[in-house]
Amino acid sequence: MTTTGVPSLVTAGLLWGTGGVLGTAFGDAADLPPTAVAACRLGGGGLLLVAYAIAGGTGRPTGLPALRRIVVIGLLAAVFQGAYFVATSLLGVAAATLVAIGSAPVVCVAVESFGARRRPDPIAVRTVAVGIVGLVFLVGAPTGVAAGTALLGSMTALLSGSSFAAITLVGRRPVDGLSESAMTGWSFLLGGALLVAGPTVAGDLPAPTVTASSIVLLVALAVIPTAAAYTFWFRGLRTSPASTAAVIGLLEPLTGTVLAMMVLGERLTMLGLIGAALLLVAVVDTSRPRAVRA
């Protein structure tokens, strides 16, 4: 396997970086909590991708393996999004991002090495280590969080990161009778429905504030960091190792930080700038064309 899918993966990472700004803006405009924003993101993106797949004549999954893949990715997407937002409520956004996104490439490298019954690829280990150090410098660590809360939040964030790693590992293997758009679309519709189901049963599902701005922001959230980003992601996974993809996924917090600086006026410390540079080094390192053992 080679790294020919890197351009698609990089595009996905950059598009994902818009999710924080768009999701926050949409949540404020629609007066919705983070979990409801995640459900709208998955549901909206899923609808767009299913419509696209149907228009192209590939919207109908055929065969049990295709249906099984949709269910697996849908469940993992719901866990990934739901656990992440629970972790942010316990640890804060920075620390939850650190554990969730930082753990994904570690899990991918470990699973790939175990599956191949060999030691981890030294290049993969190096890029993951540099990337995680950069992520630590960029987002920082939690402050003022009680030990018990920090432990619970870290476990939840680890669950989120492991779920994303599982999506990456499972999604790189194509299934007959299932296009990338159909797989992602139907899976996200299922994941969004699962995120809505809990609050609906409990009677805690809030009613959104519907305005022109909230509708525009919802469309942007569904298109840019969801439908488009994941289409590029799964396309890139076809020809790249999961560990490479997970490292490139570190572009998400980096892009989000840059956008926060441009849109929200936030500023990076010198340590944060060093972290951003290390993240770029890790992404460039893992993106270099070379033959990779499957």
In a domain, 293, yes or no: no
Least-confidence region, from 140-144, 155-159, 214-218:
140-144
In a domain, 243, yes or no: yes
In a domain, 202, yes or no: yes
Q: Give me the torsion for CA of 82, 110, 73, 200, rounded to 10°.
A: -20
Q: Give the model's confidence band at 137: pLDDT under 50 very low, under 70 low, under 90 confident, else very high.
A: confident
Half-sphere exposure of residue 72: CA atoms within 13 angstroms, side-chain side: 16
Rounded mean pLDDT of the chain? Answer: 83
Q: Give the model's confidence band at 145: pLDDT under 50 very low, under 70 low, under 90 confident, else very high.
A: low
Count of domains forming the chain: 1
In a domain, 77, yes or no: yes
Q: Considering the entire predicted model, what is its pTM?
A: 0.82
The per-residue pLDDT for 293 is 46
Summarize the confidence of residues 186-202 as an average pLDDT.
85
In a domain, 294, yes or no: no
Residue 211 Ramachandran class (φ > 0 left, ψ -120 to 50 alpha, else beta): beta
Summarize the confidence of residues 255-283 as an average pLDDT.
78
Enclosing domain of residue 214: 6-287
In a domain, 292, yes or no: no
In a domain, 261, yes or no: yes
In a domain, 1, yes or no: no
Pick the more confident residue, 293 or 262: 262
User: Around Cβ 225, how many Cβ atoms within 10 Å?
Assistant: 26
Both structure tokens of 142: 């939690």
Summarize the confidence of residues 4-19 as an average pLDDT.
87
